Amino acid sequence: MSAPRLSDRDPRVEPDELVGAMVPPPRFDTVRFATYLPNPDEPSQAAAVEACEAFAERVSAGERGWFGSLFRKSPQDKPGLYLDGGFGVGKTHLLASIWHAVPGPKSYGTFVELTNLVGALGFAEAVRRLSAHKLLAIDEFELDDPGDTMLVTRLIKELAAAGVAVAATSNTLPDKLGEGRFAAADFLREIQSMSAKFTVVRVDGPDYRHRGLPDAPEPMTDDELTARAEGTPGATLDDFAGLCARLARLHPSRYGRLLDGVTAVHLRGVAPAPDQAVALRLVALGDRLYDRDIPVAVSGAPLSELFTEEMLRGGYRKKYLRAVSRLVALSR
């Protein structure tokens, strides 16, 4: 029997589901501060754990403790915590640990999911719902275009005024967001106003997903890939070009629902992304595959060649390197 295709699926997420669905992905269901293992050669990692624990304690202290902190002058008492660092250093682990440590109501989502929430509910309704929460955790924070910049800077301002704590992860310092992607200098005031609300915590170190591990396996032949997909219950098999075309017709916030019930993804005829739009969709899909710990097998080009050298020199370099890191880990 032929394996089903992801590109045949049509996932739907109703607006009323969106807030309730804002929880850490399955991979991070059980993570806690105690399960983060700092690299002894990278002192910033142990310091980051301490900073995150202290932040979670302040947020958990309740209305009096939290609002009191807003009026103290200590830079450690800013309404937001921003984890900055390279890929594979455990920032998402720490963000999910903050979320687990803080009592509800609370929300957790990727930057893409947050912007989609605002688009689906409308700005005022999104602010109303999120303002009732103690914490908003935002993974993969990035400003890719002027619209995102204006939307998110205003959202964070409104939520901070309502006493909501915001914790975020990113590969880019908050005052450098958008550089190399759009005319960020034109939005410098908005970006600086937002970044001033965060205490930045740096997390350094090598990518833990590849410490002492071999390179990605060689791509399979088409016949080997098909046989493996058809012999794996719950697996899917797609032509790479066809899946890329399908992703173009889906909002990235629906990519997670696209993978519901899937045990392994098989991609036939993988080739370098033809342009930036396709590449960024593949990044979003790779993040959702990683969140759900879904193995990936391919034929054609290896996953390490998914993004061209020109792309890796551009403004989205860090996103592409993170995607390669995660997809290669899944391919093992």
Same domain, yes or no: 327 and 216? yes
Query: pLDDT tens for residues 120-151?
Result: 888 999 999 999 999 999 998 776 666 776 78
**More confident: 18 or 213:** 18
Domain count, the chain: 2
Contacts of 317 (CB under 8 A, 6+ apart): 311
Residue 143 is predicted with a pLDDT of 65
Is the pLDDT at 174 greater than 90, yes or no? Answer: no
- Identify whether residues 48 and 197 lie together within a single domain: yes
The answer to whether position 20 is within a domain reads: no
Asked if 192 and 185 count as a contact pair (C-beta separation under 8 A), the reply is: no
Residues 99 and 188 occupy one common structural domain: yes
Same domain, 40 and 184: yes
Residues 222-248 pLDDT 10s: 999 999 999 999 999 999 999 999 999
pLDDT tens-digit series, residues 12-24: 877 777 888 899 9
Give me the residue label for tokens 């173009």.
Answer: 248
160 & 172 share domain: yes
Q: Is residue 19 part of a domain?
A: no
pLDDT of 72: 43
| Radius of gyration for the alpha carbons in the chain, expressed in angstroms and rounded | 20
Check which CATH number belongs to the domain holding 76 and give it. Answer: 3.40.50.300
Mean of per-residue pLDDT scores for the chain: 84
Same domain, yes or no: 42 and 157? yes
Is 26 within a domain? Answer: no
pLDDT at 182: 42
Which of these three, 169, 186, 206, is where a domain ends? 206
Q: What is the pLDDT of residue 121?
A: 87
325 or 244, greater pLDDT: 244
Q: What is the mean pLDDT of residues 249-271?
A: 93
pLDDT tens-place string over residues 37-87: 999 999 999 999 999 999 999 999 864 334 444 444 444 567 789 898 877
Same domain, 172 and 80: yes
User: Is the predicted pLDDT of residue 293 greater than 70, yes or no?
Assistant: yes
Residue at 25 is within a domain: no
Q: What is the model's pLDDT at position 210?
A: 53
The DSSP 8-state label assigned to residue 169 in this structure reads E
Say what percent of the chain tops pLDDT 70: 84
Q: Are residues 216 and 69 in the same domain?
A: no
Residue 331 or 187, more confident: 331
Residue where one domain finishes, among candidates 155, 188, 206: 206
SS3 of residue 1 by DSSP: coil
Domain limit, last residue, from 142, 176, 206: 206
Asked whether residue 65 falls in the same domain as residue 183, the answer is yes
Portion of the chain with pLDDT greater than 90, in percent: 51
Domain that holds residue 76: 31-206
**Helix, strand, coil: what percent of the chain each, to 5?**
50, 15, 35
